[in-house]
Each structure stands twice: as C-alpha cells, then as structure tokens.
Amino acid sequence: MTWKTAVAAVPYGGAKGGIGCSPGDLSRSELERLTRVFTQKIHDLIGTHTDIPAPDMGTNSQTMAWIFDEYSKFHGHSPAVVTGKPIDLGGSLGRDAATGRGVMYATEALLAEYGKSISGSTFVIQGFGNVGSWAAQLIHEKGGKVIALGDVSGTIRNKAGIDVPALMKHRNEGGQLKDFHGAEVMDASELLVHECDVLLPCALGGVLNRENAPDVKAKFIIEAANHPTDPEADEILTKKGVVVLPDIYANAGGVIVSYFEWVQNIQGFMWEEEKVNMELHKYMNSAFQNIKAMCKSQDCNLRMGAFTLGVNRVARATILRGWEA
C-alpha cells in the first residue's frame, strides 16, 4: 500500500489490518458487534490525521459506518476517520466504482501506448465482485468486448461478447453466472488462458503462476487484483512478450478516491460525481506518464518502473525529513 499511494501521488502511507473470520458465516448483528469491538481496540491507533481505514475484502460501506460511529463515541463526530462510508454519512460519490473505474482508465492509458483502444478489444475478466463487475460495465460502455468471465458462482463465455448489463441484472436478481442464458458455461481452469487481447485478474492473488503462465494468450494483463502474478509467472510472461500493468498502479483507483473522500470530509465540502471521476482520471493518467518516464530512464518494464517510482518517492521524502541513516 505504501508504494501504491506513492505511485499515485497520494499523501498517505500504507498498512493492512483485519479480523480472521468468514463474514459470510456471520449474521449482520454479529458483524456489527465484531466491528465495533475491533474499533474499540484500535480507536487510539487510528485518527483523521493518523491512520484512515477503508474497505477491503469481506467489508463494505456498512462496515465503515460502524467504525465511524464507534470511533466517534470516543473522539466526537469524525467522518474523516474512515473512507468508503455510505453517501449519507459523508461518503464520496463515485467511491463504490472507483477501483473498477481506475482499472478502466489504466487500461485506456496502456492500450493507447500501443495504438489500441478499449473499443474493439476483447477482454477476459476473472472475478465479478466490486472491482470485476464495475470494470466489466465500464469496459462494455467504452465498446470493449467481454468474451469470458468467472467467479465462484461459475465461469462463462460468449465469443460475440457478453451482454454485461443483462448479466448485471441477472446477478442483482440473485442469479449465478453459470445460470446466465446469454453465454455458455466453460471450465474455470481455462479462463486465465482464454484467447483475448486483455486479461483482467480481479479476484485473489497468485492466480497466475508457473503452471499456467506459459499458456496465457492475452497480449496485455491488467492487475486489478493485488499481486495476482507470482514472480515465476512474471518472468515467464515477460519472456513471452506479454505486457503486464502492475497492481500498485492498475488498482490504485480505490485508494485515490478514498483520499478524495478524506479531503471532502476535512473540508466539509462534498464534490459532484463528475468532479470525482475527472480527478481520478487525472491522477491515473499522471501516474501512468510518470511510470512510463521511469521505465524509459531506467530501461525497465512497467512493474520495475512503478516500484522504482514509488520507492524513490518514499526514499526522497525520508531523506528530506532527515531520517536517513
């Protein structure tokens, strides 16, 4: 997270924390009690200018609302202590779609470097949760053709292009991917190696490994999930000439708009969704140009360029503050 925020030029550090449980096995009441007790234990560690939690796996805007409310019992009304909140509690418009929208902007920027565009390109998406579903919708709106996608409820394909709005309607009505009539069911193990222009892993880490990397047919991989490509796979893909856009840039849209939410809460002035999306576009494009410049100066690939950019920014700030050894 530290390198991700540095690459995005967001004035945050980075950390991860959570509770070892299976949220799907708990009732709403149990989740609320668990979240509130967790907040009671960490309320003196977080703060509007200290550490600002945001949603990740197994959590959502309701979880953030409980944290905000519990923290405020100790420290007074403090909407800026957490991001990803419901709109009615000071959440930012556009936050829900932010990571997926950032993935779309990152994809646009990368394809443009190769004289291509989303429109007319074929996409395979692994994961149809928040990130995958928003990425699929936005890519579809831009004229991209999503030809295969999958999640725990099934894996489907349609070489003519999946009707993403119809699939969203199907899912929102409680349907599973495998039961969607606008595509055929396929073997989940074939998804990541399916023929396509762009592959978007939007689920868990480590899905691209030395076993399946040699069979990947995509020309571009956009790492919408966190570290979906293990080091051995990364080396194999590089030798194959596959262009990989690293996670610390590709999925930074969420933390960027979390920063925007924090800024709005501090100012007490909320933005229109159009402004949120415009600023996100600006940040994603600026970060891509900076990564590209680093790649050129260091003669390296996008992953090394992104990490070099992030580490250099943190190192420079450390030295300027007089913390060097």
Candidates 141, 62, 159; CA nearest to 149 is: 159
Is residue 324 in a domain? no
16 is catalytic: yes
Spot the catalytic one: 4, 16, 159, 219: 16
User: Which spans in 114-150 are helix H?
Assistant: 130-141
Express as a percent the part of the chain with pLDDT over 70. 100
pLDDT band at 140 (very low <50, low <70, confident <90, very high): very high
Averaged over 68-95, what is the pLDDT? 97
Is residue 185 in a domain? yes
Give yes or no for a contact between 206 and 228, defined as CB atoms under 8 angstroms apart.
Answer: yes
Is residue 290 in a domain? yes
Is residue 156 in a domain? yes
User: How many helices (H) does the chain have, and how many strands (E)?
Assistant: 11, 7
Is residue 124 in a domain? yes
Q: What is the mean pLDDT of the chain?
A: 96
pLDDT band at 39 (very low <50, low <70, confident <90, very high): very high
- Show the domain range for 307: 1-13+90-315
Q: How far is CA 238 from CA 15, 116, 141, 216, 244, in A?
A: 29, 20, 30, 11, 8
Q: Residue count of the chain, please give it.
A: 325
Is residue 291 in a domain? yes
pTM for this predicted structure: 0.94
Tens-place pLDDT, residues 228-262 = 999 999 999 999 999 999 999 999 999 999 999 99
Q: What's the number of domains the chain is made of?
A: 1
Residue 325 is predicted with a pLDDT of 58
Is residue 250 in a domain? yes
Question: Residue 171 sits in a domain of what CATH number?
Answer: 3.40.50.720
- CA 160 to chain CA mean position, Å: 27
Is residue 84 in a domain? no
Q: Quote helix, strand, coil % in the chain, to nearest 5.
A: 50, 10, 40
Beta bridge partners, 148, equal 124, 157
Residue 16 is predicted with a pLDDT of 85
Beta bridge partners, 185, equal 156
Per-residue pLDDT at 58 exceeds 80: yes
| Secondary structure of residue 95 in the 3-state scheme | coil
